[in-house]
Structure 1
Amino acid sequence: MNPSPLLTALLPLLDDLSRDLPQAEHYRRLLLALRSCLPCDALALLRLEGDLLVPVAVLGFSPDTLGRRFRVADQPRLAQILANQGATRFAADCDLPDPYDGLVESTPGRLQVHDCLGCPLYIDDRPWGLLTLDSLDPARFGQIDLPTLEAFTRLAAATVKACERMDRLAKQAATDRRLAETWRQVAHGTPTRELIGASEAHRRLLQEIELVAKSHLTVLITGETGVGKELVAQALHQQSDRRHKPMISLNCAALPESLVESELFGHVRGAFSGATGARGGKFELADGGTLFLDEVGELPLTVQAKLLRVLQNGQLQRLGSDQQRHVDVRIIAATNRDLAEEVRAGRFRADLYHRLGAYPLHVPALRDRGQDVLLLAGYFLEQGRIRMQVPTLGLSRAARDAMLAYDWPGNVRELEHLINRALLRARAKDASPSPRQLCAADLDLAANTSQTIVGEPAPPGPGSAHGGLRHAVDEYQRQLIESMLAHHEGNLSATARALRIDRGNLHRLTRRLGLATPARPPHQRRRSG
């Protein structure tokens, strides 16, 4: 007698339970086995985290699906599946919005999901998540054996439980669980965005966060503009022993020089014009907790000296006061500048640089994170879709290829803005409730790479590309930057503004291209006080 298809699929899964496989591989094999028993176009395993359903494994969906977060209250189909004990099938003409519309990998013109099944997963009598099956054929599940799906769901629950027990023995899994809670909180319980990613560079960053979070060390977070340095600071605070105390933030670049000292250390009445009362500074507000100094490289030299004294002995004086106050504050600083270069140029104190950099933590650029860009795109698409009330939007293969090929000079922040613009265009272009996919033209990445600047050199001709595309692009950038530096008499800040990029990014680019940055004239240098 030949074994049943269900038994044939279950036996390898039972063997897998005793094997030391990564959690993601266990889940992938689970979905493959389910698809062999119950043919369909797409499957997903989603974990319930508070009021969110988070995809942990998918088959047949676009890669950005793993970056999406489905709020149960906004997804009536998923809410209905969770509410039922057994399997739930939705009729092909069901008018409830489907969270997967536009996300199933398919040929153009066949984007909308037509037949949907789902079953909740319970572990120890508590809802853990969902298994969902979707088909582009509206009659696919008409004859399906629902008890078979329910039996498979029980096996899935057993697989999940076994995986979680094995992972509790591993240090990395414990780290992931702590981070899962950390990413959803900041001081005072305010929700925050997740640190989303699956690349090796991102995984190393999470490991470093765990390593240093519980220490007393001051952390200096470096990285280009828009990589998410503030989210890293929040994760450090939430994993530290100070997480029950406040985390106070100060953007050092957002305040005029005359107010920075008052904001940091506070002031007494009459300390300066307009000081009508005494006021504590950020250090006192953060007492017992964490003070996050963003763009610390922008601090004036006079304030740097006072900041160093507080870091050394925990004593501060309010502006206009002789009274010493003691504070217990952990400093986390961030900058997109090369502070070592700033020290050599005399714009940053060497002793403060070494004090802040007790533990340097570099956040990788988005272009160095591989397919993380697609996970982040999926996350922003889902968040923006809910906020703007637009149908589900997927990413076409051409759009994904364009995103992976793009250099992302503005990093994650640029990606978020680009997705929001694409959502606005999609809403204006097509007001119908039908889902569709964003194509490469919707993203308009070409516009981001071709900023027109007066006086720029002509693009290199075909003969200049003998060293490949990267060589041709570098040569064009080198000519453009040399021309603009000469036009602005070597002023790096003015050149950066003209090129519409961050000054720190321009400085790094000139070093990579082997360009000498002229010394700033004495009248342009910041006074040391």
Structure 2
Amino acid sequence: MPLSIQSLAAIAIDLQTGLTRRDHFTLLVSSLRQLLNCDATALLRFEAQQFRPLAIDGLTQDVLGRRFALDQHPRLEAIARAGHVVRFPEDSHLPDPYDGLIPGHDKLKVHACIGLPLFADQNLIGALTFDSLNPRQFDQFNDEELQLISVLAAAALNNALLVETLEKQSLPDFVQQISIARDGGEIIGSSPVMQQLKQEIGIVAGSDLNVLISGETGVGKELVARAIHLGSARAAHPLVYLNCAALPENVAESELFGHVKGAFTGAIQHRVGKFELADNGTLFLDEIGELSLSLQAKLLRIIQYGDLQRVGDDSMKRVNVRILAATNRELKQAVVSGQFRADLYHRLSVFPVVVPPLRERVSDIPLLAGFFCERYRIKLGLTQLVLRGDALTALEGYPWPGNIRELEHAIYRAAVLARATQNGGVTELLPLHFNLNSQTAPEQQDNEMPPILVQGDLATLTDQFQREVIRKVLTASDMNWAATARKLNLNSGNLHRLAKRLGLK
């Protein structure tokens, strides 16, 4: 049945109701899927040479987290390069980006597929895709009717982008979306807590306030720091990274402030510290809670006055640096216990930002899983990587003590296992590839002692025991040495020296 003007007008009227942009897009794709009576519909936004799904109907939820780069998906590239309706032959040899991603259908074999590029002022802003398992489903619709759909969708998408731009005009130099970083890093998530986080990032990015980013290991604190920097007036200047937990005490001051030739044994030339490298830009101090009290005092002086003194140099240099600090510790408690300076804490936490753990944003797991599936599909050279429904259910039911980093590693490991045991175009990730049920709960991991093979003298057995304990706690701490030291109640420097003696480093 041909499309009627009345049916399209009804959709256009519905789009004028007081819904959120996301609900507008969801309404659009569901209405169009019903109108064309097809199996799957998707509205995609085009940016940075890739398509990002905004709304889907008839596809698995993880599609919303996938990012379809043009050079990896020839069908989408054909849509992007076309200025009109694209009808793919039912037996097209071009791989379909949604192969295996329509629930209940393992593979899209012979099927009908249409792509509509969406334009605003002759600029490509997105696309609509329609898939049907009936090869003849779209024969009844002519290109003029489908072009009307593209005009309707383009207007809805362009209006949303204009509103988004207006909302961000108050943020100086905010030239990119907060979710897209220049090097491809992206903050994935649409849950309420993540919407709140992105709003906070947008608010503080345009200021020049110091920010304390707190959250558990693996939640993505560095991505938040990068988004704040890119949204600031300092975006054209460097973002310099320093992991305070990895700094040996004897070189920490030099790393931060630099040194002059001859300042100490081994100082054979001048060295520029991280503060000078970040001048007029941003310095990201990760694991700030691991800095010694003496270094905290020197850091406070630079924050207060902007005066920098290299090690071994009597002269002062002024720097203009914004500090973004991150920690997985409770710094307030560290202040109370005397392990962290109260005045430095208050200087750093002018605008505190808390990144939620993954267990508090379970609805984002499908998006994150889709994002990582697409990343490792490309990395492993797979035609398609699909997360089966029961596997996604298992992921959503797991507490993820290592948060997003643990989820990413789990998907990568599962993809490697699946590739080794499956043949064919579509590689499926199954529950057995994750083996989450057999993993020990995090609170039990810290209490259980590793089994000991009793052989050798006492010194050998003691080394073996220490080696296994450190290895186990280090793994449970996501390879974070500072966190491992805290759990073992050891000085960080002593732990590094012990690990080196035991052959762990």
The bucket for the TM-score relative to the shorter chain is 0.7 to 0.9
The answer as to 2:306 corresponding to 1:306 is no
What is aligned with 1:130? 127
> What is the CA–CA distance in structure 2 between the aligned matches of 1:183 and 1:237, rounded to whole Å?
12
Alignment of 1:12-411 (within 5 A): 12-107=10-105, 109-110=106-107, 114-166=111-163, 171=167, 178=174, 180-185=176-181, 190-411=182-403
The answer (yes or no) to whether the contact 1:101–1:393 under 8 Å persists in 2 is no
Structure 2 residues not aligned, in runs of 5+: 453-461, 497-505
> What is the CA–CA distance in structure 1 between the aligned matches of 2:261 and 2:54, rounded to whole Å?
56
User: Secondary structure in 2 aligned to 1:445?
Assistant: coil
Alignment counterpart, residue 441 of structure 1, candidates 432, 455, 468:
432
The answer as to 2:498 corresponding to 1:502 is no
The answer (yes or no) to whether the contact 1:6–1:37 under 8 Å persists in 2 is no
What is aligned with 2:501? none
User: Secondary structure in 1 aligned to 2:226?
Assistant: helix
303-312 vs 498-507, which moves further: 498-507
> What is the CA–CA distance in structure 1 between the aligned matches of 2:446 and 2:287, rounded to whole Å?
24
> What is the CA–CA distance in structure 2 between the aligned matches of 1:265 and 1:277, rounded to whole Å?
14
The answer (yes or no) to whether the contact 2:217–2:478 under 8 Å persists in 1 is no
What is aligned with 1:458? none
> What is the CA–CA distance in structure 2 between the aligned matches of 1:78 and 1:48, rounded to whole Å?
10
> What is the CA–CA distance in structure 2 between the aligned matches of 1:80 and 1:294, rounded to whole Å?
43
Distance 1:518 1:263, change over 3 A: closer
TM superposition shift of 1:72: 1.0
300-309 vs 263-272, which moves further: 300-309
The answer (yes or no) to whether the contact 1:380–1:416 under 8 Å persists in 2 is yes
The answer (yes or no) to whether the contact 2:107–2:426 under 8 Å persists in 1 is no
The answer (yes or no) to whether the contact 2:254–2:310 under 8 Å persists in 1 is yes
> What is the CA–CA distance in structure 2 between the aligned matches of 1:173 and 1:57, rounded to whole Å?
25
1:444-470 deviations in Å (ceiling 9; x for gaps):
3235x23xxxxxxxxxxxxxxxxxxxx
TM superposition shift of 1:337: 1.3
> What is the CA–CA distance in structure 1 between the aligned matches of 2:428 and 2:478, rounded to whole Å?
36
The answer (yes or no) to whether the contact 1:87–1:120 under 8 Å persists in 2 is yes
What is aligned with 1:11? 9
The answer (yes or no) to whether the contact 1:167–1:174 under 8 Å persists in 2 is no
> What is the CA–CA distance in structure 2 between the aligned matches of 1:260 and 1:132, rounded to whole Å?
54
The answer (yes or no) to whether the contact 2:118–2:125 under 8 Å persists in 1 is yes
> What is the CA–CA distance in structure 2 between the aligned matches of 1:426 and 1:503, rounded to whole Å?
24
User: Secondary structure in 2 aligned to 1:371?
Assistant: helix
Code of the aligned partner of 1:502: S
Distance 1:209 1:329, change over 3 A: same
> What is the CA–CA distance in structure 2 between the aligned matches of 1:505 and 1:274, rounded to whole Å?
29
> What is the CA–CA distance in structure 2 between the aligned matches of 1:146 and 1:134, rounded to whole Å?
16
User: Secondary structure in 1 aligned to 2:242?
Assistant: strand
TM superposition shift of 1:140: 3.2
The answer (yes or no) to whether the contact 1:270–1:277 under 8 Å persists in 2 is yes
The answer (yes or no) to whether the contact 2:91–2:110 under 8 Å persists in 1 is no
> What is the CA–CA distance in structure 1 between the aligned matches of 2:347 and 2:248, rounded to whole Å?
24
Code of the aligned partner of 1:95: H
The answer (yes or no) to whether the contact 1:267–1:278 under 8 Å persists in 2 is yes
TM superposition shift of 1:518: 11
User: Secondary structure in 2 aligned to 1:386?
Assistant: helix
Code of the aligned partner of 1:181: Q
Percent identity, aligned pairs only?
A: 44
Residues matched between the structures, number: 477
User: Which ranges of 4 or more aligned residues in structure 1 deviate by more than 6 Å?
Assistant: 172-175, 493-496, 503-508, 517-521, 523-526
> What is the CA–CA distance in structure 1 between the aligned matches of 2:301 and 2:495, rounded to whole Å?
25
Code of the aligned partner of 1:99: P
TM superposition shift of 1:223: 0.3
Code of the aligned partner of 1:137: N
> What is the CA–CA distance in structure 2 between the aligned matches of 1:264 and 1:105, rounded to whole Å?
53
The answer (yes or no) to whether the contact 2:245–2:482 under 8 Å persists in 1 is no
User: Secondary structure in 1 aligned to 2:241?
Assistant: strand
> What is the CA–CA distance in structure 1 between the aligned matches of 2:220 and 2:175, rounded to whole Å?
15
The answer (yes or no) to whether the contact 1:54–1:70 under 8 Å persists in 2 is yes
What is aligned with 2:457? none
Code of the aligned partner of 1:71: A
What is aligned with 1:466? none
1:96-145 deviations in Å (ceiling 9; x for gaps):
111111111225x4555732111211222222211111123334334443
286-295 vs 9-18, which moves further: 9-18
TM superposition shift of 1:481: 4.9
1:60-116 deviations in Å (ceiling 9; x for gaps):
011110111111122111111222222222223211111111111225x45557321
Code of the aligned partner of 1:209: I
Structure 1 residues not aligned, in runs of 5+: 451-472, 509-516
State TM-score, norm by structure 2. Answer: 0.85
User: Secondary structure in 2 aligned to 1:25?
Assistant: helix
The answer (yes or no) to whether the contact 1:496–1:503 under 8 Å persists in 2 is no
The answer (yes or no) to whether the contact 2:58–2:102 under 8 Å persists in 1 is yes
> What is the CA–CA distance in structure 2 between the aligned matches of 1:401 and 1:111, rounded to whole Å?
23
